[in-house]
Every structure is written in C-alpha cells, then in structure tokens.
Amino acid sequence: MDKKADILIVGGGPAGLAAAVAARKDGIENVLVLERDEELGGILNQCIHNGFGLHTFKEELTGPEYAQRYISQAEALGIPCLLHTIVVDISAEKDKKLVTAMNKKDGLFTIEAKAVVLAMGCRERSRGALNIPGYRPAGIYSAGTAQHYVNIEGRMPGKEVVILGSGDIGLIMARRMTLEGAKVKLVAELMPYSGGLKRNIVQCLEDYNIPLKLSHTVIHIDGKERVKGVTVAEVDNNRKPIPGTEEYISCDTLLLSCGLIPENELSAGLGVALNPVTAGPVVNESLETSVEGVFACGNVLHVHDLVDHVSEESYAAGEHAAAYVKEKRSVRAETVAIKCEGGVRYTVPSLLRVEYMEKEQVVRFRVGNVYRNVFLTVYFNDKIVIKQKKRVLLPGEMEQIKLKKSELEKFSDLKSITISIEEE
Amino acid sequence: MYDVIVIGAGVTGAAIARELSRYEYAGKTAVLERASDICEGTSKANSGIVHAGHDAEPGTLKARLNVLGNRKMEQLSRELDFSFKKNGTLVLCFDEKDRDKLRRLLEKGQQNGVEGLRIIEVQELRAMEPNISDEAVAALYAPAGGIVCPFGLTIALAENACENGVEFHLNTEVLQIERTQEGYLLKTSKGVFESRIVVNAAGLYADALHNMVSERKLNIIPRKGEYCLFDKSAGSYVSHTIFQLPTRYGKGVLVTPTVHGNLMMGPTAVDIEDKEGTNTTGEGLGDLLKRGGLSIQRVPEEKVITSFAGLRAHESSGDFVIGEVEGAPGFIDVAGIESPGLTCAPAIGEYVAEIVQELLPVPKKADFKVHRQGIRAMADADEGERKELIAKNPAYANIICRCELVTEGEIMDAIHRPLGATTLDGVKRRTRAGMGRCQSGFCAPKTVEILARELGTDVGEITKSGGESRFLTGYDKEDIGSA
C-alpha cells in the first residue's frame, strides 16, 4: 500500500485529532491520521478522572469523554485514520514528505504527503534517567504505566506506594491508587515547589491526607526481587541529600512522576531543529518547524498542563498546515525571534513572521522558578509594549500572553521581541 | 546418571556446555542454573569488552586464555550470530612521568602475544578520538580489542549447546554435593542429579560448591562494579574503548561505545560481602562519573538512561582457578572468573572440554550444529528484509518497544526459541525491548501481555526476573474491605 495525502498527521491523540479536524474544516480533502495504538484518543483513554474540557466545552469531562468529542468530529468529517500503525521514518524532499509506516494489515508502506503534522506526544522520565541508586526490582513504575494497569487493565501494580515527583500524573495516581485500595504513604518532590497544578494538590493529596514532602528525594531502592522499601532524604539548595535526614519507608511500589519528555525521535531523524529547553521542535507563528511544511503541536512540541490548550494549539496547527497546502507559503518572510529573559524558560512559538500571523498571536511560556508580585513585560525591540502585574507565576503552570498583529505592524524595523519577568 | 553436569549458566558455563556438546557422550549432559533464566549473574552486568590481552601478568591462565579468547571471538560471532565489533582499545597516559608504565604495559602485551600493539602520541590520539581529554599525553593502542553484547554471547552459546543436546535445568539451585562411587550426587531445589563429572562454573558461589568437596577452601569475594549507560545520541562520543593507566585517582574507569550504539562508563571496584549486593549507590555513581570524566572532554550526564551494578567473582589468588580439584576426582573447578572472563569464555570452554576429555574420552559428534541463528532484528534490517519478515509473520509490523524498534514478531521468537524467555528481563536481553531511552515505560505492559499470551498464563504470573518479582499484585478494589 503506497499512497498520497495532502496532510498527514502523525498521532491520533488529542493533538492529532484537533489538527485533523481543523485541516478538514479548512477544506483539505485528503487528511490522513496515523495512530500507533489500537484506538484513537492517545493517553486520554487512561485518564478516567474528570476535569477535562472546562475551557473548550465549558463542562467537566473525563479523559475518554473529552477524546470522544474529537473522535466523533473526525468520524463525522470522514477523516481516515489508520490504527495500530507506527511511523518508522519521515524524510523531506523539496515539495513532498515521505512517511514510512507499518502495520499488521498493510505491512511496510510509504505515504507521500504535502504537509506533515507531528503530534506524537511525550513520554515519562524513567528511573534510569533519574539515576536513583539501589536495586532494580519489580515494582518501580512510571505513574503513567501504573495508570494504564489500574484504569485500562483493572489490575493493581502494588499495595503500598511511595510516589516520587509531584507532577500531575503522580498526584492523580496518588488519589486513584487510594480509591482502588492501595495505601499511598508519601509523595516526595525534589524541588521546593510542586510540579503539578494547585487544584490537583488539594483534590488528590490533601483530601485524602496523603503527605507531600517538598525538597525530598529517594536515595535508595531496597528489595532484590520486588520493591521492599525506599529511603527518602531531604535535599539542600543544590538538590543534594542532607546527611542525617534519611528515612526508610517500607512499600512494595515506587511510582515516578518526574517530568515528561516530548518524543521527538522521528522529528530529529527528519532534521527538525529542536529547542534544548522544551526538547520539542523550534516553531514559528504557524507552528511550522525548521523543515518547511512540517508542523508540530501538543505535547511533542512542549509539555502542556491542560488538554484544552493542546486542542487549541493543535487546531491552529491544522489550520496553518491547511493554509500551507493551499497557499504554498514557500517564500520565507521576515522572521523575528522571541527572546526569553528574567526567568522565562522558553516560549512557543519562538519565531514570528508578522506577515503570516493572525490578528492575535498566543505565545505560551513557562517560568523557571516561583515568582510573586512581579511584572510580565514584553518588549518590541527595546520598547515596552505590554506590562502586566502578576501576583504569582509557578513553574508547574503554563502561562500565555497575546500579541496583537496591529501592534507589531507599527514597528517598521522590528528586530526582536523579548518576554521578561521583572521586579517592580 | 549424567556424564557431565555443569553448574551455572553464565557465559563460562554456557561456553563449556557448548564445547561439551561437540562430543558424543553416552549419557546425558546438563547445565543446572539457580536463576529463572540463563545469563542472570555476573554475565549480565559487565563491561562487554573483548580485551586485547595486555593487562594480565604473563604466564597466568588469565593471560593465555585472554589472547586465545580474543582471537576466537570474531569467528564465533559469525557462527553464533551475536553482536561483536573490533573497535580497538586505548589506554590513556595522563602524565609524562607515567610513560614507563605505558611502556611496561606494551611489553607485557607483547609477551602475552597481543598483536598490533603500539604507543601513539597525542596528535594521532586526538585524530582518532576528538573528544579525548586535554590531559592525555599518549596512549597504548590495541587494535585487537573489541566490544561484544554480553547477553548476546551468553545466550547464543547456551542456545547452541541446547540445540546440540545439552539439557538446561533452570530454577535449580545446587544445595548439597556428595561423592559417590561413580561420581557425584547433586541435591538441588528441583530434585537429585547424579553425574560422573561435575564442572563448577557457579561464579560468585563457586567457592561454596568447591568447599563441599574439598578441604582446601576457596574464597570468592564479590567485587562490585557500577556502570552508567548513556542514550544512543551520545553513542558516538568515543569510538574506541578508552581505559586509563592507573593514576593517583586509583584504577581507572573505562568509557566505551557499546555494540548497540550506546555510550557506557564503568566500572567502579569495591569489595563487598553480600553476593547478592547488586545495588547501585549514590557514592559509586558519583565517583564513576567523576573518574570516567577524566578520559573525555565532558560527561553527557543528562543523557544517562540507566545505571546498574555487577559483581565480579574475585578469588584471593588473583588468577583463574581452572582444573580438577585435588582429592575430588571428576570435580572440575572453573572459579574466580573475573575480568577478562567474558573475553576468555570461548577459550575456557575449549580448555575445560579438554580436561573433561582426559577424564572421560569420547569421540566427536558427526552432526554437531556449528551455527545458530539469532533473532532477526527489525531495527537492523533493510527495507527488503523488513518486508520479508512482515510477509512471513505480520507481528513483525507491530512495534512494541518504540525506543529500540522491537516488534511483536521478535518477542514471539525470543519466547519460542530454545531456552526461550519467560520473564520481562529475559525478553529484554534477547531482543532489547525495554533497553532504550524510556527504559520500558511504554513497552513493559505490552511485553508482559505477549509473554502471558504466548506462555498460556495470566499477566499476574509474569515476573521481571523470576522469584517474587511479579509486576502486578492483584485487581482493582480487591483490598477494600466490605463495609
């Protein structure tokens, strides 16, 4: 099976589906979604808790319900999706992209596409990457793997649990494991602040009396066959364990919720430039990567807190991909870089072509520390154009700011845009 | 009654078993292994280096078997289809004052019969290894040095021995040995075995077995070595295996590419007491990165994907202990097999088979199968081969491990071949599923499901590596007491 597509979308999770729906609604007939799992919806399928969709649908949905809204739209629009299909390689020639994929039914095949939308999502940081010393027994899971077992398979990965990392999935799993009959003894967080949303700390830990210890980490894993316990210690300002603060906690399970990493192996193979801070592609206002006609959205681009933002961003990526296919935006317009200063870690997009931007451009970013009572300032060249008072900025919560095209057009020689956090 | 029983299915036991399987014994031959799989001890956690042979003291068994084993490895890798690469080794000298030591190493190597050894100066060194430390002033270059997949080698030897008629008894721990008129009675966790000849290749526990039959006691000390493995994106940081001359920091740590394209750093060397003490430690890993870092410009610490520790079986005498035990006829020790044991394994196999031949001479088999076909890896296959594999079994189009591109077809092969995998780690060592950058986060549940399906059991019964290492503890809500 060798075929053609106008827009090929890699990934049928919330990002890929929103991009597909947008592209089709913008009049692109031949949109094709490739999904590696046996069903659409991505990681939402195992997120059976509620709280999704408050922004998008103004109601509170579970993950599968939220996914179904987009799956139904894609079905209604007749967008073809190949399931259980994994992309093994993407290459780009001048006007076309060649996507090599395989599945059990069609074997190994190549699809020629005019544009590609990367929507592969992210993966969890592993025990190995955290380099936690100790034995290597069974009973150490990423929070997402545990979530899969409990919510999809109905099986318990353990009975007495310690969770390292206070990312949202870890917090959600602390509650889920408790509801399913396990004892969650502790959530330990290396940083002096949580990596998760405030509402999850309240609803998943505090409501169930699960202790959260900030500035703590696991320094040893005990148990030769199955986990028997972990040693937790307090860390200093350099995140080094403080001798004398060690505490042994018996448990049979260690869950890890220590950050997500965009899964960009395919992008790197294609030659897409990656931002070392986000580990996702560098994109412009159209969410187009450094490879012309290749767009990125969702968690493969940068890790989001809310699926609503993923959908919004991905819908825009789908529209931009459609515009690319229709208009052939091959002429490289004047590009301005968005710089980060004073604790802003990154922005998406990080490049802007004023000519192609919408009336209003959403720029999403994260900060590297906890900031209170500061000003979020935007400079065009060295002139302040936006100055917003911010009561609190948290590393665990993505921020956004809107730039107006009309404002930008006033600057005839715009060289740079700078987003900065400033004291009074 | 068995003719020969080998205790231990590590690389040494597997190599001996393979060599024994060339012969036409009238009775049976077997390997007894206490773990749930082959390659579960020291053989699974080491540097994976095929040493050139310049380290060992001339005249020792280590020296002789190292050079022999090194010469056999390439041919063996073709016969048994495992990954091996002759990438060459470099021993770095960081101080002009240490040049004597470098020369002595060269001479020792030449005495041992290592081919192609020469000392290279800093310019040539830099051309060979652009990321080498600025502190290096010269190096000993050994083009005969190589790298091998330690699991690949061990499993290939064992599978081939099995195909040639050697029985493998897993989960079978030898508890007691008694001498009988005809040989030895081995009382195990899985019943009693009797054999004319016993080969003790029990690694860290070879002393315990030896001491059951001999008054002259052996003493094996577990020497811990910790390692860090780095992502494949750091895999080409060096292309040779880089050793250090002993410096004021002590015996050096090596930096090497692996045959699978990762970068690896290790080992530390700390004598411990616990023969099961394969835990890594904060101090060990810290020390390792610091010392390994002396060899190269920068340690890509952010690219560590996992760390592990192995225990070398160090015997107090310092050399390998191979031969029939005095006062215990027919009981052959193969003990103290520490570095360069992996390199030596093919030569140890032949050497021990000869000793067995002296005790119990039999003719060679006419139908010995020299070749063994490994698992076809989709990751290494070209487009034509991929299509062919998928045509044969569509499961080859179903990728289970995304990081290492391992398919359901390969995992099925790993389970159903001789001495097939029954655990998650067993699948990992045979196929690399779970060895990549996500360290099995995504694929473990899928692999467990395939294992359960193919072995006809419930996923709750599948373990990581045998024993009590089950993945799942029960069902949702079953521990919630009824109100």
Q: What is the mean pLDDT of each run of 10 residues along chain A (424 residues)?
A: 89 98 97 96 96 94 98 98 96 92 95 97 89 95 95 96 95 97 97 89 97 97 97 96 97 96 95 96 96 97 96 97 84 84 95 91 94 96 94 92 93 92 88
Domain holding B122: CATH number? 3.30.9.10
Q: Is B133 found in the same domain as B234?
A: yes
**Cα(B16)–Cα(B345) distance, integer angstroms:** 8
Q: Are B441 and B404 in contact (CB under 8 A)?
A: no
Domain annotation covers residue B367: no
Residues 178-217 of B with CB under 8 A from A: none
Last residue of a domain, one of A330, A364, A387: A330
- What would you report as the CA-atom Rg of chain B, rounded to the nearest whole angstrom? 23
CB contact under 8 A, A138 and B464: yes
Domain annotation covers residue B21: yes
Last residue of a domain, one of B250, B279, B310: B310
Q: Are B196 and B27 in contact (CB under 8 A)?
A: yes
Q: Which of A45, A88, A252 to mutate to test the interface with B (most CBs of B within 10 A)?
A: A88
Q: B267 preceded by cis ω (within 30°)? A: yes
Nearest CA in chain B to A148: B445
**Cα(B32)–Cα(B253) distance, integer angstroms:** 34
A217 CB contacts (<8 Å, ≥6 apart)? A164, A188, A190, A232, A233, A235, A239, A241
Q: Are A417 and A339 in contact (CB under 8 A)?
A: yes
Q: Is B390 found in the same domain as B263?
A: no
CB contact under 8 A, A126 and B444: no
- Both tokens of B48, joined, read 């994976």
Minimum distance, in Å, between the CA of residue B154 and any CA atom of chain A: 21
Q: Provide the β-strand partners of residue A200.
A: none
Q: How many CB pairs under 8 A join A and B?
A: 146
Q: Are B400 and B411 in contact (CB under 8 A)?
A: yes
Domain annotation covers residue A345: no
Domain holding A149: CATH number? 3.50.50.60
Number of alpha carbons in the 13 Å side-chain half-sphere of residue B142: 31
Which of A102, A154, A158 lies closest to B476 in CB terms?
A: A154
Does B382 touch chain A if contact means CB atoms closer than 8 Å? Answer: no
Q: Is B212 found in the same domain as B228?
A: no
- Both tokens of A157, joined, read 């990965």
Q: Is the pTM of this model over 0.90?
A: yes
What's the domain range around A147? 126-258
Domain annotation covers residue A315: yes
Q: Is A54 found in the same domain as A200?
A: no
Domain annotation covers residue A340: no
Q: Are B81 and B374 in contact (CB under 8 A)?
A: yes
B38 phi and psi, to 5 degrees? -75, 160
> Looking at residue A412, what is its pLDDT?
82
> Looking at residue B369, what is its pLDDT?
98
What's the domain range around B326? 2-43+151-219+317-359
Q: What is the DSSP letter of A178?
A: H
Q: Is B300 found in the same domain as B400?
A: no
Q: Is A133 found in the same domain as A97?
A: no
Which residues of A16-153 form beta strands (DSSP E)? 31-34, 50-52, 61-62, 81-82, 86-92, 97-103, 107-118, 122-124, 140-142
CB contact under 8 A, B304 and A124: no
Domain annotation covers residue A336: no
**Cα(B186)–Cα(B195) distance, integer angstroms:** 8
B247 CB contacts (<8 Å, ≥6 apart)? B94, B95, B98, B294
**Cα(B331)–Cα(B174) distance, integer angstroms:** 14
**Cα(B124)–Cα(A415) distance, integer angstroms:** 46
Closest CA to A270 of A30, A100, A103, A102: A100
Q: Is B170 found in the same domain as B121?
A: no
Domain annotation covers residue A343: no
Minimum distance, in Å, between the CA of residue A385 and any CA atom of chain B: 38
Where does A292-395 have alpha helices with state H? Answer: 307-327
Last residue of a domain, one of A201, A227, A258: A258
Domain annotation covers residue A167: yes
Q: Is A216 found in the same domain as A270?
A: no
Chain A neighbors of B386, CB-CB under 8 A: 102, 108
A351 phi and psi, to 5 degrees? -130, 145
Chain A neighbors of B450, CB-CB under 8 A: none
Minimum distance, in Å, between the CA of residue B116 and any CA atom of chain A: 38
Q: Are B213 and B66 in contact (CB under 8 A)?
A: no
Q: pLDDT tens digit string along B142-167?
A: 999 999 999 999 999 999 999 999 99
Q: Is A166 found in the same domain as A281?
A: no
Which sequence positions of B are flagged as catalytic? Answer: 51
Domain holding B403: CATH number? 1.10.10.1100
> Looking at residue B442, what is its pLDDT?
83
Question: What is the CB neighbour count within 10 angstroms for residue A292?
Answer: 15
Domain holding B208: CATH number? 3.50.50.60
Chain A neighbors of B463, CB-CB under 8 A: 138, 225
Q: Is B329 found in the same domain as B193?
A: yes
- Both tokens of A210, joined, read 């699960």
How many domains in chain A? 3
Domain annotation covers residue A142: yes
**Cα(A100)–Cα(A110) distance, integer angstroms:** 4
> Looking at residue B483, what is its pLDDT?
44
Q: Is A119 found in the same domain as A265?
A: yes
Number of alpha carbons in the 13 Å side-chain half-sphere of residue A185: 18
Minimum distance, in Å, between the CA of residue A119 and any CA atom of chain B: 15
Residues 8-37 of A with CB under 8 A from B: 36
Domain annotation covers residue A344: no
**Cα(B108)–Cα(B117) distance, integer angstroms:** 10
Q: Is B305 found in the same domain as B230?
A: yes
CB contact under 8 A, A128 and B304: yes
Domain annotation covers residue B425: yes
Closest CA to A132 of A252, A226, A232: A232
Q: Is B173 found in the same domain as B37?
A: yes
**Cα(A398)–Cα(A298) distance, integer angstroms:** 13
Q: Is B230 found in the same domain as B137?
A: yes
Chain A neighbors of B403, CB-CB under 8 A: 265
Domain annotation covers residue B337: yes
Q: Is B322 found in the same domain as B267?
A: no
> Looking at residue A170, what is its pLDDT?
94
Chain B neighbors of A155, CB-CB under 8 A: 459-460, 472, 474-476
Number of alpha carbons in the 13 Å side-chain half-sphere of residue B135: 15
Q: Is B288 found in the same domain as B268?
A: yes
How many domains in chain B? 3
- Both tokens of B179, joined, read 């001498």
**Cα(B52)–Cα(B63) distance, integer angstroms:** 10
Minimum distance, in Å, between the CA of residue A122 and any CA atom of chain B: 11
Domain annotation covers residue B100: yes
Q: To 10 degrees, what angle do helices B11-20 and B150-163 make? A: 30
Q: Is A293 found in the same domain as A251?
A: no
Does B381 touch chain A if contact means CB atoms closer than 8 Å? Answer: no
Chain A neighbors of B397, CB-CB under 8 A: 102-104, 106-108
Cα separation values, A161 from A146, A231, A294, B434, Å: 11, 13, 42, 23
Domain annotation covers residue B339: yes
Q: Is B383 found in the same domain as B440?
A: yes
> Looking at residue B387, what is its pLDDT?
94
Q: Is A68 found in the same domain as A166?
A: no
Question: Is residue A391 helix, strand or coil?
Answer: strand
Does A86 touch chain B if contact means CB atoms closer than 8 Å? Answer: yes
Q: Are B159 and B152 in contact (CB under 8 A)?
A: no
B405 CB contacts (<8 Å, ≥6 apart)? A88, B378, B379, B399
Residues of chain B with pLDDT under 50: 483
Last residue of a domain, one of B359, B392, B422: B359
Q: Are A396 and A370 in contact (CB under 8 A)?
A: no
Residues 414-473 of B with CB under 8 A from A: 437-442, 444-445, 459-460, 463-473
Q: Is A81 found in the same domain as A39?
A: yes
Q: Is A237 found in the same domain as A91?
A: no
